[in-house]
Every structure is written in structure tokens, then in C-alpha cells.
Structure 1
Amino acid sequence: MGDTERVPSLDTLPAELLYQLLDLLPCENILISVANVCRRFRSIAHAYDRYDIDLRSISKPTFHKICRSIRPVKVISLTLSDDEKTPGQIGLFLSVFHIKLFRRLRHLTLINVAAKDLMTISSQCQLNSLISFTMNARGQHIISPLKMITRAIALPSLCKLSLTSIGCIFDRISWPTDCLLQNLKIQTCTCQQFLTLLSRLPHLKTLDIALYEFRSTDARSTTIHRSLTSLTMSIGHTHITSLDSLLLLTPSLVNLKLIINSCDAEFLSQCFSWEEFIQHRLTELQKFEFFFTVCHHRQDSLFDIETLIDSFRRPFWLEDKRWLVCCEQTKSSKYRTYLYTVPMCISRFKYLKPFRKIFSTVDNLPSNTTCRVSTLIVDLTTRLMSSLFKRDDPNSTTVEFGQVTDLVLFVYGEQIRESMKFASTLIDVSQLQHLSISLYSDIKMDDDPTVYVSTLLKSVRNLRSLAINFCWPCNKYSDNLKSIISMVPRHVHHLQIDARSAKLIKEVFEQIVNLSSVAFRIRGYQPLQSEDILAWLTKRCSDFTFVNTRDTLNVWLGKMEPEPNELLSPNKRLKIND
């Protein structure tokens, strides 16, 4: 290699190529890390004008660093959140920036936004370039969300809209006569509101919606929506004839996903008619996913699921469409039958393996059957669940739910040790990010549950959020809770616990060091005086925001200041004797 030849490196790449690489990075990596590498990279980060500012789940110090670094004119996507991990963030952001400065904004997401903040954004924000808008408003206010939605759907540029918690204002929304919206997600609405959408949105291509219930008498519409190609529906309850009448209105579907939380046995018994219906009514359908649940009141109401699954072993399902179907029945405290396509099209699943029998359209189910399940609920408090610890092979290295990031555990008394070990055999603990544990009251006096919880926490290295609920008497609850908090690993940023007294809340604040946010679920017969707690916290933390609801106090922490007679240790604050 000659002396004049330069060794290829990241620093020698053209700016245009570096911009494309920056498109793949979170905003904090660009503003905090990349910009401080060298002068050229600082210049690149300064000139970059496609910033996606996503402030969900970040710490308060990182929030302030981003706010000091961003230039509103360079931002095209903005996500603000007042959820339990960053309560009060939206109001704090609006106190730093005038929202009208973000005039190139193309994507806007507001999570758990308060009415007063939404009013500020609606009156000041320049929405002319907005392509997608996502909103989840909290509270029962109507005017602010309605005004924001009305402004958004009137935009000719808006293609994608996602709305949550708008049931009380849906009927007040004035949809434009020829609305150009192409992608819509709404939770939840009534059947009549769903039909209204079909009639008012002629350009709609993708629809994701949750319905309370659907009956055949509700489908009184002559509007055939031929532009809709993708439909995802979650329905509380319906009948097979009602579902058919609804799908007749959308004959051009290419992708269809159906989740029915409560259907009757007759619904499943009529599944044999789906083959003919799809062949004649949904001729363009290429992808069909479903998950149906039947709740049986008595054991004698269960039916033969092997006969049911036979209707899905025909060439139409296995050869023409290659849609694999599975059916299972559970026999725990309630009798249920599940019929679903493989892989499961749901993200949240309750584990009842020891009490289920399974039949599928193929002998060996593929390994990705549960690949979409991100939240797993394991209730080990029932008596029958004790058989789990005897049936499963403790030496097995395979896990049934390899993509789970959120685990909800209900564990019971004397079996806490076995419960924790069993849960770790179901999932890949290295993937776990959120953990919720409810510990119940009948625990042996000679057992120390904190030992088992500590062992589990140490093995979950990517854990970011932890929720703990102790269901035993208050005196033991306080002692064990403080022990657990002292064992929380440094990589956990969010903690959610029960608050049974103002004294306990203050003791928790004295102990936490590395947490970014804390959520206190208010429990007990006497309401807590949150004003007194917040006044006390003001003296200890100069930079915090909060959201106070009827039963929860969420605090987004800044820097905690120790008392003059306290010394900080790696895990807790220790009192220094005078």
C-alpha cells in the first residue's frame, strides 16, 4: 500500500452515507455519543436534519442532555410520554420548547397526555407536514382531544392515525367527507362506529380496531369497502353469522387477523364453513391469522377438539394456503378451548400447560409457535399448579417462550423457591426486560422470600422495570419490601410497589439511588396525603416531575440529595450516628 493511500475508516465516509447510518441510531446516541467523537462527527450531527426524538423510558439526566442539544428545525419525529416511567415529561418538555418551533414535524406520538398539555400542543403546533399521529389521552376531558383529532384528520398529508381511550368522544368526531387517511388504529369502539369508519374513509387500506361486541343485527350497512386490504380486529364476543356479515363488507382483504376473546361452542363448530367462505368471498386473502377463546361453564360442555381440528387438515389449509392451525383445551379453575393459527398471533398469553391437551394440523409444530408472545402470565397460586414442579425436566435447556420480555408472576407461599426456578425454565431470562411479582400471604415463618427474589433478580441481567406486590400483613410487608429494594440491581431503572403508608414511601425514597422512576400503588383503607409526600420530596429532590391519579403516584426522579447526616453507599443510604 502506497504512502498516499488512506486506510478506509468510518471517518472517511461521505456525509450522505453517514446520514443514512444515523437514521438507524437512537437520538441520544447521536447527540451524546457521536457528536463528541471528533470535530467532523460533531459537524455531521449538527447538520443532520432527520432526528427521531423518542423520549420514552429515558432518565431525567438524559432528557436534559437531549433538550440542550436538539434543534427543533432538525426534528421530523417526536415521541413524548407521561406513562409510569416518565410521568410529567410532556409538561416539562413544553416548558423547555415552544412546540411551534418543530415546523418540520412529520410524526408525532403523545402517550398518556394530559388535557392541558394537549391543549397547548393543539393551539401552537404546526401540523402542516404531519404524516402520522398517535395519541393516548388520559382523563375524561373531551374538548382538548377532540380539537387535536379534528385538526389532524383534516390534514391532506396525514396517512396514519392511532387513537386510544377516545370512546367518550368518538361520536363527536367530524370525519371529512373524503378523508385521505390510509392507516387507522382505534381502541375501542362500537359496531356502529366501525361501520361509520368504513363509510367515511374510502381510501383506508389498513385498519386495526377493537370492538366491544358484534351481532348480525349490527351489520346493517350497504357500504362495500374495496380499498381495505389489511384488517385486524379484536372482538369481545360475536357469533359466526355476525362475523361473516361483517367480512362481506371488506371483500378485498389480503391480510386478516381476528382475535375473539369470548365466542361460543357453536362458533367453533361452524369453522368448516370458512374454507368455502374464503374461496368465494375473500378471494384475494393471502394471510389469515386468528385466536379464538371459548369459556365452558362445566366440564361436560367440553367437546372433541380432535374432530374440530380435522376440518383444518384439508388441502386448502395445508397445501394451498399453508395455514397451520392448533386447538387446545385447558382444565384448570375454568374450562377453556383455544383455536389459533401458528404462530400465535397474540402478544399476551397465560400459561396453563399441565392442564391442556393439544391437537394440530401437523404432527410436529414449528419451533416458532410462541415467537410473538412478549408477555407471559404464570399464576402458580392454584393448588393444581403444584404438579408443575414434578412434571417438567429440571435439566431441560429448551424454553417454550423464547421471545418473552414481560413476565407476570403470581407465586404462593411455601413454593416460592420452586416457583422462581420453574419460571426461569419457561423463558429465556436474558431477554426479560419487565418483571412483575405478586407474593401471597401464606409463607412459612422460617422462610425468607427475599433470598429467592434476590437470586432471580441477579440472573435477569437486562431487566429494566420491576413491580413487586407483597400480599401479607403490613408489618412483615414493610421489612421485606425494604430488603428487596436494597437488592434491586443497578440496571433496573423503574420500580413499582404498593404504598400502604406515607412513612413507607419516604423510607423507599431514602433507599433508592439508581432508579429513574418510581410508581406507588396506593393501597389501604385511608387515602394517603400525596401533597405532604410531594412537599417532603421537594426538599430531597430538586428536579422531579409526577403524575398523581386516584390510586397511583408516579414520580420521575432527578438527582436525590442526601440529608446532611447521611452517607451514600452503593445500595442504600446509611445513617451516621451523631
Structure 2
Amino acid sequence: MILESLANEVLLDLFEFINGVHLLRAFFDLNSRFNKLLVVHFQRYDIDFRSISKQYFNTICKKHLPLITDRIISLHLSNDDETPDLPNVFLSYGFTLNRFNHLQSLKLYYIRSIDLLNQIINQCRHLTYLRALDMIDCYFLYEKENIRNLINTIWSLPKLTHWNFNRPFSSGMWLEEISIISSSMKYLSIEKTECYFTNLSHLFKYTANLRRISISIPIDFEDMQFQTIISSIVSLKLIFNGCISSMKNLFQIMPNLHHVTLNITSFHLDGYEWEKILMNYLPKIKIFKLKMNLNYPNFYRKENEINQFLDSFRTYFWIEKHRWFVRYDWNPSDIIGYGILYTLPYVFQDFIYSNEILSKSTCIDDKHYSSYDCVTNFLQKNDKNNLENCSTLLSLRFPNIRHLEINIPFNDNLWLIIPTFDKLTSLYIKLSGNNLNYNQLQELFNRAPRLNSLTIGIDSWSSIDFEFFSLKSISIRQVRFVRKNKLIIQYINNREFDILINSSTVSHCNVLALGIENRTKILDLIKTISNLQSLIIQCQDDTLNYDESLSINDELIEWLCSCLPPTYSITRDIGTSNIRLWIDR
């Protein structure tokens, strides 16, 4: 079938399923008919600027975006390694968010400046269709006045119903800066923000119509009694590190909860104790999902203790009334006493797999829950090469893994428990020891057609054999070399540099992150790697002193600006020594 033979109505329906950036690139200027469809008739653009090249971003901002601002319903702006400084470049073209008057969803990623966030959110004040706001991994310093402005602007957005603030290790103090009541906010996800009860009490006071909330509560020394009943909340997702009485107090103020997901890290309860809590404090519960970490020496490690523990989850309440089954995983040789109990099916995104873990469940037909479909992030720990005790977890399957962390070499059981790598997009590998099995890694590349990002954790460049650089992947476009703690980029010398840029994987990548000894190698990388779109660099001859004021001239950035075209975006990541280049070619 020829595409142009399709009726306009059919084409417009098809356009609904295509990212607006790809849509414009594929069809704009193809002919006058498609131009008219795109500029006049199509009304629902989803513009996702993640992964876009600097060159095509400039084209869209100059040529296409001014024609469709009133028909964009979803917009993604990212400052991550693929598109460093994109939000600032976007604003430099004169775009303001208030021009996108039919915008329904705004997603912001990796923005490191509270001033920039305030600028963007302030422009959304009068967007009457804006329902959803996501701020993913947006790190910034706690500046009280700026935080107050940001949070109150968000709470004043007239139609906002969904807010997702995904910032790891963030303190919940900023919640107490809210001074405007939001009657529209119904779905709130701040599960990576550590909220104390005083923070939550203030939040509930100014957010009266919440339906669903995802939160994290750290160790709270206040056994606080809430004064307000929040009857509107029906769904709670909670990461909890407090005491049992505090958890009960939280449940008491939400009498209409019927869907609860708990990740408990601070205490352990058996099935009888959970049964009492659920009956007394959550009388309307319908869906209950639990993960309880039991990392205590000598806790539930003996066979009879484990059986007694699981028997407490085999009562009429658990098995007959609700059909809630649990599984208990433990490592008998772990001196820390690793253990974890969770309800089935497993509904959490992260899973740590060890070839020493044993497992038992309360479900008679254990195979019924052997597929862990919700797990997208998988970490495999290599404890021992001997497999005699792993049979209890070998029956599990993880078919939807998107991010994988493994040591090289890894246990061959990985091929069994992950039956397909078709959805794998991100891989973090640690190269350890002298007996590295690169054939395993090549096989993994071959099985992962969508693998886009590869991060290599190393102790030193000498731990990488030449064989590593001969590995091939048709899909990898992002390569990062870091130390095993993931925080420090590893410096590379001149000899290693020459091997690196001639390797198959690196020579085809779009994003590269590494440390170099000499700044002139930055120019060599840009010249040699023709597909390179962004470069994240730590430079050993960087002269910036972080003890001095950041207002001083940045000598390395000035040098790069003098050597590279003015259309390149060259910035330094706040709080690190990383130089980030978004390359225009």
C-alpha cells in the first residue's frame, strides 16, 4: 500500500501515534498535501525533544515550531547528557510556555537550576489545559525564597491534577513553603522526597482533594498525631522507614484507602500482626502490595523459623478472603542476614538477584507467579559460581528488563532467568578481575537489539583488555566510562585514547562520557567521531578551582569557545567538573 493513497482522515489518525519531532522530520516538505495536513489540520502534537541532535533542534525551532505552538498538547524538555543545555537554548529562541495555549502535559528532565525552573513554570500560569507536570531528576540547591516561589506557582496552576517530582534524596522541607490551596491537584508522586510528618501535615492542609499519593517517610522521631482526616485519598504508595505507630497514625487519617503499596525498610511484622493492622486501620482495603526488607543477623534463617514465619501468612484472612500470597527470599550465607518478603505478584520495578538466594512462598502453585513482569531494573550479584543452592530462584523469569547491572564475568543463569533482552535499553557493567569473559558480553550485545546506553565501571584503564574494544553492537549510541562508584569519570591517556576512538562501539556513538588528560583531545574526539552529538568530559588539565567563586571566568570553557563554532552549546554541570558539549553539525 502506498502511504499517499490513504485518506486524510486515516493519515491524521496515524499521526496521533508518532512523536511530533519524528513526524515533522519524516513528512514536512514531502509535498504540499502533507504540509497542509501538518500545519493546518493536525491538532495534537506530542513534541519530545529528548535525544534530538542540536542541528535538527535548531531546524525545528526556526522552521516548524512557530507554526504549531497552539496545537502542541505535550512537551518534553531535557537537560540530560544527550541534550545538554536544551531548555536554555529553547528559551533563547524566544519561546515562552504561555504561547503553547493547548498544552496538557509538560515534562522537564535533569534541570539543575531553580531559576530556570521558576522561569519555565511561571510561564505556565495561564495555561488552562495543563493537567500534568513531571519534573524528573531536577537537582538544585535549597534556596528558600526560590523554592517558595516555585512550589506556590505549581500549586496555583488552575487545572493541574498530576504532579510528579522525581528528585532522589530530596528533603521534604520545601513542602512547608506551600501557602496556596490547590483544589485541582489529585495525583501527587514525590516518592523520592523524604517527607516527615510535619511536612505531610502541611501538604494535606493545602491539597484538599488528593486521590492518589506516592511518598517516602524516613526515620521520624516524632510520633505525631495528625489533626486532619483526608477522606479523599483512596490510593497510597509508601516507602516507609519510620516506626509502626507512625504508620498506623498515617493510615488512620486516610479512612477510604482501598489501594496500598508499601515498601518497608525499618521494621518487620509477621502475617498475624499485618492482619490486625489491615483490619483495624484499613477496613476498606481491596489491593494490598507489600515489600518488607528483613536485613537482620540471625532473623528467619533457620528452616523451622522460616516455616513458622510463612505460616502466619497462611490464615483465612490471607489465603481465602483476599487470596494474597507472599514469597520470602533469603541468603543463608549472608552474615548481614539478607531477607525480603513480598506479596505476589511482585509489583516493584527493582530486583536484586543473587545466585545464593533461597525462596519459599505461601502459594501452592508457585509457578503461577514466576513471571516478574513489573521488574524493569535488574541487578545481578555474583556471590559464588557454584549453583547447588540456586534452584529456588531459577524458575523466575524477568521478561521486561530495561536497565541491567552486572559484573563481567557473570553467572550463565542470567540467560535463563531473563528469557529476552528485546526491551533492554541501558546496561551498566563492572569489569572485575583478570578472567574477563568478553564472549559473554558480545553475546549480550547480540541479544539486545534496542540496547542504547552502555556504562563501563572500571578501576583503571589497565583493567580493560584490547579485546573489549573489538566488541560490536549495532544499537549502542551512548558510551560512558566511569569508576565503579559511578561518580567519577576515568581519565584516559594518549595511547589508550587512540585505541578507544578506533573501537567499533565508540566510533559509532552519539553520546560519549569519559575523562581525558589533555584538553586538545576534546577537539580530536569531535573531529574523529562523526556521529557524536554530545560529549561529557572531565579534563585533568582543567584549572577551575571549586573553592573559589563560580562567578570567576571559566578558563576551560573560554578555551573551548575559542576553538569551536559558536553554534555549539558548551556548559559546565553545576556541582561537578563535567564539561558538557552539545555539538551542532
Q: Normalization by structure 2: what TM-score? A: 0.79
Alignment equivalent of 1:60, drawn from 54, 61, 69: 54
Find out whether 1:210 has 2:216 as its counterpart.
yes
The DSSP-based 3-state class of the residue aligned with 2:293 is strand
Higher deviation after alignment, 178-187 or 150-159? 178-187
Report the alpha carbon displacement of residue 336 of structure 1 after superposing the two structures with TM. Answer: 1.3
Identity of aligned residues (%): 21
Question: Which residue number corresponds to residue 176 of structure 1?
Answer: 180
Question: Structure 1: which 5+ runs fail to align?
Answer: 1-6, 561-578
Question: Which residue number corresponds to residue 111 of structure 1?
Answer: 109
Kept in 2: contact 1:329–1:337 (CA 8 A): yes
Partner Cα distance (1:161, 1:72) in 2? 23
Partner Cα distance (2:329, 2:71) in 1? 52
The DSSP-based 3-state class of the residue aligned with 1:438 is strand
Partner Cα distance (1:134, 1:456) in 2? 33
Alignment equivalent of 1:238, drawn from 232, 242, 265: 242
Q: 1:144 to 1:54 in 2, by over 3 A?
A: farther
Kept in 1: contact 2:557–2:571 (CA 8 A): no
Report the alpha carbon displacement of residue 433 of structure 1 after superposing the two structures with TM. Answer: 0.5
Alignment equivalent of 1:550, drawn from 575, 579, 584: 575
Q: 1:120 to 1:433 in 2, by over 3 A?
A: same
Partner Cα distance (1:422, 1:490) in 2? 32
Partner Cα distance (1:224, 1:168) in 2? 21
Amino acid across the alignment from 1:469: G
Higher deviation after alignment, 495-504 or 302-311? 495-504
Matches within 5 A, 1:341-356: 341-356=343-358
Matches within 5 A, 1:24-63: 24-36=17-29, 38-47=31-40, 48-63=42-57
Alignment equivalent of 1:263, drawn from 263, 266, 269: 266
Kept in 2: contact 1:53–1:75 (CA 8 A): yes
Report the alpha carbon displacement of residue 213 of structure 1 after superposing the two structures with TM. Answer: 2.5
Report the alpha carbon displacement of residue 348 of structure 1 after superposing the two structures with TM. Answer: 1.7
Report the alpha carbon displacement of residue 169 of structure 1 after superposing the two structures with TM. Answer: 5.4
Partner Cα distance (1:494, 1:366) in 2? 42
Matches within 5 A, 1:134-173: 134-136=134-136, 137-142=138-143, 143-165=145-167, 167=171, 170-173=174-177
Report the alpha carbon displacement of residue 280 of structure 1 after superposing the two structures with TM. Answer: 4.5
Kept in 2: contact 1:163–1:185 (CA 8 A): yes
Q: 1:318 to 1:520 in 2, by over 3 A?
A: farther
Question: Which residue number corresponds to residue 403 of structure 2?
Answer: 406
Question: Which residue number corresponds to residue 99 of structure 2?
Answer: 101
Question: Which residue number corresponds to residue 386 of structure 1?
Answer: 385
Kept in 1: contact 2:107–2:134 (CA 8 A): yes
Question: Which residue number corresponds to residue 575 of structure 1?
Answer: none
Matches within 5 A, 1:182-331: 182-186=186-190, 187-188=192-193, 189-214=195-220, 217-235=222-240, 237-260=241-264, 262-264=265-267, 267-269=268-270, 271-296=271-296, 298-299=297-298, 302=301, 304-330=305-331, 331=333
Kept in 1: contact 2:124–2:157 (CA 8 A): no
Partner Cα distance (2:562, 2:56) in 1? 21
Question: Structure 2: which 5+ runs fail to align?
Answer: 465-491, 547-553
Amino acid across the alignment from 2:211: K
Q: 1:276 to 1:334 in 2, by over 3 A?
A: closer
Alignment equivalent of 2:529, drawn from 481, 502, 512: 512
- Partner deviation per Cα, 1:210-268 (whole Å, 9 max, x = no partner): 222346x4331131111101111112x233333222211111112111112x223xx22
Find out whether 1:120 has 2:113 as its counterpart.
no
Partner Cα distance (2:361, 2:300) in 1? 18
The DSSP-based 3-state class of the residue aligned with 2:51 is coil
Kept in 2: contact 1:78–1:109 (CA 8 A): yes
- Partner deviation per Cα, 1:420-472 (whole Å, 9 max, x = no partner): 855444432222101112223x426xx7x767655543443211111122213
Report the alpha carbon displacement of residue 58 of structure 1 after superposing the two structures with TM. Answer: 2.8
Q: Normalization by structure 1: what TM-score? A: 0.80
Partner Cα distance (1:172, 1:239) in 2? 22
Higher deviation after alignment, 53-62 or 79-88? 53-62
Question: Which residue number corresponds to residue 3 of structure 1?
Answer: none
Amino acid across the alignment from 1:250: M
Amino acid across the alignment from 2:50: R
Partner Cα distance (2:538, 2:234) in 1? 43
Q: 1:287 to 1:430 in 2, by over 3 A?
A: same
Question: Which residue number corresponds to residue 429 of structure 1?
Answer: 421
Partner Cα distance (1:456, 1:524) in 2? 37
Question: Which residue number corresponds to residue 443 of structure 1?
Answer: 434
Question: Which residue number corresponds to residue 571 of structure 1?
Answer: none
Amino acid across the alignment from 2:266: C
Kept in 1: contact 2:147–2:177 (CA 8 A): no
Partner Cα distance (2:171, 2:214) in 1? 15
**How many equivalent pairs are there?**
530
- Partner deviation per Cα, 1:113-158 (whole Å, 9 max, x = no partner): 2234224324544533122222353221534443232122113312
Kept in 1: contact 2:175–2:203 (CA 8 A): no
Alignment equivalent of 1:466, drawn from 417, 440, 454: 454
Partner Cα distance (1:243, 1:460) in 2? 43
Q: 1:349 to 1:500 in 2, by over 3 A?
A: farther
Kept in 2: contact 1:204–1:227 (CA 8 A): yes
Higher deviation after alignment, 108-117 or 423-432? 423-432
- Partner deviation per Cα, 1:4-38 (whole Å, 9 max, x = no partner): xxx998755453x6444333221123212244554
RMSD: 3.7
